[in-house]
Chain A
Amino acid sequence: MTYIAKPRFHHPGLKKNALGFTHRDYEGKISTLCAGCGHDSITASIIEACFELSIEPHRVAKISGIGCSSKTPDYFLGNSHGFNSVHGRMPSVLTGANLANRDLIYLGVSGDGDSASIGFGQFAHSIRRGVNMTYIVENNGVYGLTKGQFSATADRGSKSKKGVMNTDNAIDLVAIALQLGATYVARSFSGDKRQLVPVIAGALQHKGAAFIDVISPCVAFNNHAGSTKSFDYVREHNDAVNRLDVITGRDPITVDYAPGTVQIVEQHDGSRLALRKIDADYDVHDRVAAQAFLQKHAAKGQIVTGLLYVDPEAEDLHSHLNTVDAPLNSLEAQDLCPGSTVLDKINASLR
């Protein structure tokens, strides 16, 4: 653990976003995770994505559970709202917060233990309900805080640091998210920020349940030969289906790609994603094909990354429930109690 605070000085030539902030303004406290932890790179990517999207920090609510990953919201967006909840209960706390105030941007941060074990049910239901959120799982395949036991996402046949083989089958959170109806599904790698930053930025702009599984090597307990979540293994077996660019604002698209290789996805709110296809046959709008593609490649030992599925016309829980537009805290007594005339009308309609 680093004892000194990160110096406040920053590069004099640092870029500023539309709000006049530098990326340093989106930082939090200095990380207390192990040196080299993949989670810190995800932290840096979240910072970068929020900076690039010129998100006002006070509009973000970061909610997490328990675990190494769930500690990370302390390390980014120091000026945002935060709630470090009970183990595995991030999804329900987030759902509640979202129902109470739909105006905030909800960022759920969880880990493989928090989401695939103790909070598996919570994870499933928040996705199933289509809560408007960005749900990031920082997935390292081990329980880092308790010294490296296999987690539920560890691949069968992968070796622990002690040399023990994992005999249980792995939960593929991406496959489950697809199956449960998530409307933005991606997988990425903490060691590839060029892919990860736009994937996070796209998810933050997505209206609906956005799920990102980020493979994040645990340098202390899961970065050895025989591990399937090490830097080396992921780099060797990474099969990216596409590259994403998030287009902010109304600017014309200036990204220079060879014709025919780029697909522009316009989302509900008008935000646009430019997808550079790597696998020409991959269709990012086909949920069923995506599931098959994933399983086929997983069987070959490949890790499929990129934006795997997006539904640009997604709806969220609020539209399903037809809730009131305004955050609950802004409703006045008059809104909440419209008076006896209205009550009489309702009663009359039920007679």
Chain B
Amino acid sequence: MKPTDISAPDYFHKVVDCQWACPAHTPVPEYIRLIAEGRYSDAYMINWKSNVFPGILGRTCDRPCEPACRRGRVEEKPVAICRLKRVAADFKDDIKQRLPRSAPRNGKRIALVGGGPASLTVARDLAPLGYHCTVFDADPKAGGMMRTQIPKFRLPDSVIDEETDYILSLGIEFKGGQRIDSMKQLLAEGYDAVFVGSGAPRGRELNIPGRKEAASNIHIGIDWLSSVSFGHTDKIGKRVIVLGGGNTAMDCCRTARRLGGVDVKVIVRSGFEEMKASPWEKEDAMHEDIPILNYMVPIAFTHDNGKLTGVTFQKVRAEYDAKGKRSLVPAGEPDVTIACDDVLVAVGQENAFPWIERDCGIAFDKWDMPKVDPKTMASTHPKVFFGGDAAFGPKNIIWAVAHGHDAALSIHRLLSGEDVNERPLPEVHVTSQKMGIHEWSYDNDISPEKRFKVPHRDKVIALKDIRAEVELGYDVKLALGEAHRCLNCDVQTVFSAPLCIECDACADICPMDCITFTENGEEAELRGRLKAPTPHPDQDLYVSTELKTGRVMVKDEDVCLHCGLCAERCPTGAWDMQKYLIDMVHAGTSCPSKRRSAA
């Protein structure tokens, strides 16, 4: 193998698994260390800069970071990254003084359609640079789906208000209750750029027999949730069936339990394991006495005199073909009808752009989705950008934030006369953490603790009040314990071959057998010769240049604890622990490119 080029910004970035997996690339270990130090406001600001909604995401994020967390490969469970983010938000001081000041207006006007996480991110990035941002939303308050679709017992209004206010206070014009009905008209108003962050607002229908007849007791999940959120709906029948297996279904069933549903069931087509809902959301639902029945396909709504009486299901089982593709085939058992008073349909969401005229210069693909460049978020119209669920269909908040950052950068480059497709490289800092002979500026002692549980409100009380937040969040002590579980994967093991005397001290001390001194070879073959071969070939090998004996040092990054013992036991300082920090490029943080023309 060729010697590893550790100066490539991506190499060490990949080692920080959580940050690499996060769409917004939040520097997770950096803020977890700050939480451990009790510097909650500092931890919050790192998050705020990167993911814009730390308090909201700390309660609702889909957490792509956690399955990626190295701790999950070392022991049973990853670090509770998401809930630590909430800790930063819960315990911070007043941070208003730390927010950016609005710059003098630069005369450029941006229209943002939809007041959800994507648009707010774009506005947050652009307003401090002097852009005049106008956010339009059909609802009276900002927040979009975060406000309308996520139940208050998971995400209280106060948290949404606080974090949307931070953004709106940057001098952003928010036009609530104003739905945009025509893209043409909007473009005609002379905005310099338009950002579409209007989400995926349409719940998918379930057109099976009885749907029309029993319509008054069959509700589309997301519409029903938003109606509950605005207080238009405040009760539901005693027996409720929720159809669908995603996070919306979980929100629906738990909300139903709080509005009078006593016998609430979730029924899914697929197997329990394949459900789209996050495992923790399924757990929370089941904890509230909601059974999840699987392998049942709804085939008809039964009704009597226009009143829903139940749902009939066909029982199926999963069959896998040679390629591993799953199909659901009838199990051969008799159909079952389950009686109920109401049904909530949460079988997916769709985009809908009836308001974008198809001849206004924005091209749509065969699925009737706008053609959007995943890197720049640009549509085929030079002034129109997309982001969030509006761009590529339903994802989640953190993806919307990531899209927002990218779109804001594109808009800034466009309006500065720069090439939108040219993306500046991120700034990377690599700094030694050595403080003394065996002292480091991070805590390298590895905590053996198992993941700490987040305290929950008593179930009886929680089910009585739809606005009572179920999760109470970590207290300071639990947060400290959980923060210590972080392996500091951003503190990198950096090796210098010319200093190495091949004494084997590092290979001997490494608790995870990550380090091997051996002859070089092709990757696949070399992997087999490691002290402890890994089952994760996607994790990189760090290969040194040739050493004095003709061998090379090979470090398998897979399960490195970043404990620094290799560096502590190295007599020559060939190993050093260096903190890697990457500043993702946001609008305004990068140097203007050389080719910048006078704009």
Contacts and interface: CB of A to CB of B under 8 A. Distances in A.
Answer yes or no: are A and B bound together in one complex: yes
A1 to B, nearest CB: 7
Contacts of A13: 532-535
B502 interface: yes
A14 B514 CA distance: 11
A40 B565 CA distance: 14
Interface residues of A, number: 36
Contacts of A78: none
B511 A2 contact: no
Interface in B282-331: none
Contact of B74 (A12, A37, A217, A231): A12
Interface stretch (A3-11, A83-91, A143-151, A205-213): A3-11
A2 B445 CA distance: 11
Interface stretch (B161-169, B257-265, B345-353, B568-576): B568-576
A321 B512 CA distance: 47
A219 B571 contact: yes
Contact of B509 (A6, A9, A231, A232): A6
A36 B445 CA distance: 20
B466 interface: no
B438 A3 contact: yes
A5 B561 CA distance: 13
A68 to B, nearest CB: 14
A217 B503 contact: yes
Interface in B439-453: 444-446, 448
A7 B571 contact: no
A165 interface: no
A217 B565 CA distance: 20
Given A6-B511, A40-B569, A11 B503 contact: no
A36 B563 contact: no
B535 A44 contact: no
Interface in A291-332: none
B504 interface: yes
A29 interface: no
B505 A11 contact: no
Nearest to B509: A6
Contacts of A14: 513, 532
- Of the listed residues A2, A7, A235, the one surrounded by the most CB atoms of chain B closer than 10 A to its CB is A7
Contact of B559 (A12, A24, A43, A219): A12
Contact of B502 (A8, A24, A34, A191): A191
A2 B569 contact: yes
A44 B503 CA distance: 12
B511 A7 contact: yes
Interface string B537-551: 000000000001100
A9 B512 contact: yes
A196 to B, nearest CB: 10
A4 B534 CA distance: 26
B508 interface: yes
Interface of B is mostly: loop
A141 interface: no
B351 to A, nearest CB: 42
B390 to A, nearest CB: 42
Contacts of A24: 511
Contact of A36 (B505, B535, B549, B559): B505
B418 to A, nearest CB: 48
A44 B561 CA distance: 20
B512 A10 contact: yes
A9 B511 CA distance: 7
Nearest to B532: A11
Contacts of B445: 4-5
A95 interface: no
Contacts of A34: 571
Contacts of A217: 503
A7 B448 contact: yes
Interface in B470-520: 501-505, 507-509, 511-514
Interface in B224-250: none
B512 A36 contact: no
A73 interface: no
A223 interface: yes
Interface string A219-243: 1000100000001100100000000
Nearest to B443: A4
- Of the listed residues A11, A13, A15, the one surrounded by the most CB atoms of chain B closer than 10 A to its CB is A11
B508 A44 contact: yes
B75 A9 contact: yes
A235 B561 CA distance: 32
A220 B568 CA distance: 15
Given A9-B446, A13-B535, A35-B570, A40 B511 contact: no
Contacts of A102: none
- What are the nearest 3 A-B pairs in CB distance? A36-B571, A7-B446, A11-B532
Interface of B: 73-75, 438, 444-446, 448, 501-505, 507-509, 511-514, 532-535, 548-549, 559, 561, 563, 565, 568-572
Given A13-B533, A41-B503, A232-B548, 5 more contacts: A4-B445, A10-B511, A11-B514, A12-B73, A35-B569
Interface of A: 1-15, 24, 30-31, 34-38, 40-41, 43-44, 190-191, 193, 217, 219, 223, 231-232, 235
24 contacts: A1-B438, A2-B438, A2-B509, A5-B445, A6-B511, A7-B561, A8-B448, A8-B511, A11-B514, A12-B73, A12-B559, A13-B532, A13-B535, A30-B509, A34-B571, A35-B505, A35-B568, A35-B570, A36-B501, A36-B569, A36-B571, A40-B508, A41-B505, A235-B548
